[in-house]
Structure formats: structure tokens, C-alpha cells
């Protein structure tokens, strides 16, 4: 497998990489504060770190849910986070028109799981030459992701990451099949495991997604044992007050112990 470089961080080069941050930008101060804190925690744990957050959560269950500051204001905040905190940035795009502006700021352009079959969006992201992270749809088998990969490759872009985030299991529930980690890695690109969205319960809270964060550490550990190259975590200083995805978000104060545990697992199975 050839590692994929995103800024100063190489994913798939041997070290477990941490991709973490709040689900959505809540304010400029919050974004910078979280990025600084998580960067320091990752440094103490000895893990390379990329900051993730969304400028717009366009795929909310309810129109009344908080979406974020939007494209222009959100990218300005992410630009400031990048310059002040000196971290790589990952965020997601939802339509072709967002790709160009986002590519000027982001190190990794993420295709959301619900949009992993949107050919025009994937091609637009691939043409930027940026790293493209495609989240596997909850409705797809892992082997079907080869077609999304081929779309990116057709543009001459081989800076590809694939994220596993669980599969639909009946109504309002997800389940993770860890066979998908080696299956996805066999395509030749690094694989990320999204341990927080995998404990999500979509639409389970009367127009909002529920979740159960107590299972995050177990799923994250299993994914690392199965070969995940990076771990994706939604992290917030006060998840119960987070404006999006609080029930499945890891508390900032518990992050260090978790990622140190994951690093030990990585070293044991390497």
C-alpha cells in the first residue's frame, strides 16, 4: 500500500493517525480551542493528527437542526485554524459548487457517506488533485467501494482514502462488520475507521440522530486490531451541549486515554 500524504501527515505509513474534532463548527473560538487541545493530546500520545469539522451539515434529519456557519464563513474559520494551530484540515462537501472553494483551504476533501455514489461530486473533488476521503455509505457492501475508487482514479488522482462508518441494521441503528477493514485495504489505499458515527442511531431522537458513545472505545479498538490506518473521532469538550451529534461524541477529557490505548493495540498487531 502506498501512503497518502495530507499536509505533513502520512496515512498508511505505519503510524496510526488521529482524525478528530467537533462534528460541526460552532464558533471560531470553539474551533481554534478544540484544534489546539486535540493537537496537544495527540502530541502527548505520539499520534499524527488531522483536524476535522464541518462548515455545513447539509444532511441533517430535520431542517430545524443546526447546520453550521456555511461555506464562506466556515472556510474562513478553517483557514484561521490551519494558520494558527498548524494542523491539516478535513471537511466534507455536498455539491460540486462547494468543491473549488473548499479545495483552497482543505488538505482532505471528504465525500459524505450518503453521497458516496454521487459521480459528479466525486469527479469534481478528484480533479482538484487534493486527497479525497470517501466515506462508505451505510447502504453499501465494502467491495462495492471499488467503483467509487475508480471514479477518483479516472481523473488521474490516486490520493484516495476510504472510511468505514458502519452499515444500516434495521431502523435507527448501525452495525460494524470488521471484515470490511481488510476488504477495503485490499484496494490498495489507506482505510479510516469512523468510530463515532458507527455508534450513531440515525433519526432516533424525534428528528435528531441518537447514539451511544460508551461503545466508541470498543469499536475503535477492534478496528485498529483489524488494520485501520487512521481513527476518526468526533470530539467535544461538552458532548451533551454539542450542537450536532452529541450522543455519539467522545468527551475531550477522555480522548487521551482512548488514543493511548489504541496506539498500544496498533503496536501489538503491527
How do the pLDDT tens digits run along the chain, 270 residues long?
A: 899 999 999 999 999 999 999 999 999 999 999 999 999 999 999 999 999 999 998 876 677 778 899 999 999 999 999 999 999 999 999 999 999 999 999 999 999 999 999 999 999 999 999 999 999 999 999 999 999 999 999 999 999 999 999 999 989 899 999 999 999 999 999 999 999 999 988 775 666 667 789 999 999 999 999 999 999 999 999 999 999 888 899 999 999 999 999 999 999 998
Q: Which class does domain 4-269 fall in?
A: alpha beta
**CA–CA separation, 22 and 54 (whole Å):** 8
Show the CA angle centred on residue 118, arms to residues 56 and 133, nearest 5°.
Answer: 65
Cα–Cα distance for residue pair 159/86, rounded to 1 Å: 21
Which residues are CB-neighbours of 33 under 8 A, at least 6 positions away? 237
Q: What's the DSSP call for residue 112?
A: P
pTM for the structure as a whole: 0.96
Amino acid at each position: 500500500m502506498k501512503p497518502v500524504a495530507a499536509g505533513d501527515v502520512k496515512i498508511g505509513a505505519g503510524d496510526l493517525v488521529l482524525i478528530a474534532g467537533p462534528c460541526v463548527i460552532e464558533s471560531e473560538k470553539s474551533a481554534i480551542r478544540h484544534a489546539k487541545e486535540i493537537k496537544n493530546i495527540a502530541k502527548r500520545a505520539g499520534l499524527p493528527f488531522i483536524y476535522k469539522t464541518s462548515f455545513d451539515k447539509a444532511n441533517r434529519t430535520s431542517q430545524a437542526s443546526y447546520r453550521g456557519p456555511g461555506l464562506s464563513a466556515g472556510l474562513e474559520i478553517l483557514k484561521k485554524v490551519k494558520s494558527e494551530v498548524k494542523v491539516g484540515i478535513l471537511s466534507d462537501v455536498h455539491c460540486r459548487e462547494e468543491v473549488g472553494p473548499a479545495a483552497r483551504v482543505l488538505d482532505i476533501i471528504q465525500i459524505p457517506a450518503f453521497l458516496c455514489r454521487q459521480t459528479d461530486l466525486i469527479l469534481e473533488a478528484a480533479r482538484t488533485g487534493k486527497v479525497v476521503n470517501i466515506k462508505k455509505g451505510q447502504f453499501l457492501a465494502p467491495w462495492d467501494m471499488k467503483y467509487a475508487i475508480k471514479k477518483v482514479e479516472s481523473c488521474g488522482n490516486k490520493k484516495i482514502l476510504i472510511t468505514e462508518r458502519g452499515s444500516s441494521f434495521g431502523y435507527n441503528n448501525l452495525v460494524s462488520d470488521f471484515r470490511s477493514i481488510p476488504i477495503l485495504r485490499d484496494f490498495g489505499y489507506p482505510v479510516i475507521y469512523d468510530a463515532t458515527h458507527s455508534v450513531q442511531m440515525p433519526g432516533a431522537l424525534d428528528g435528531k440522530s441518537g447514539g451511544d458513545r460508551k461503545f466508541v472505545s470498543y469499536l475503535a479498538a477492534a478496528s485498529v486490531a483489524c488494520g485501520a490506518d487512521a481513527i476518526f473521532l468526533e470530539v467535544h469538550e461538552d458532548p451533551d451541549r454539542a450542537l450536532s451529534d452529541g450522543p455519539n461524541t467522545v468527551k475531550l477529557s477522555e480522548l487521551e486515554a482512548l488514543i493511548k490505548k489504541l496506539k498500544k493495540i496498533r503496536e501489538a498487531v503491527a
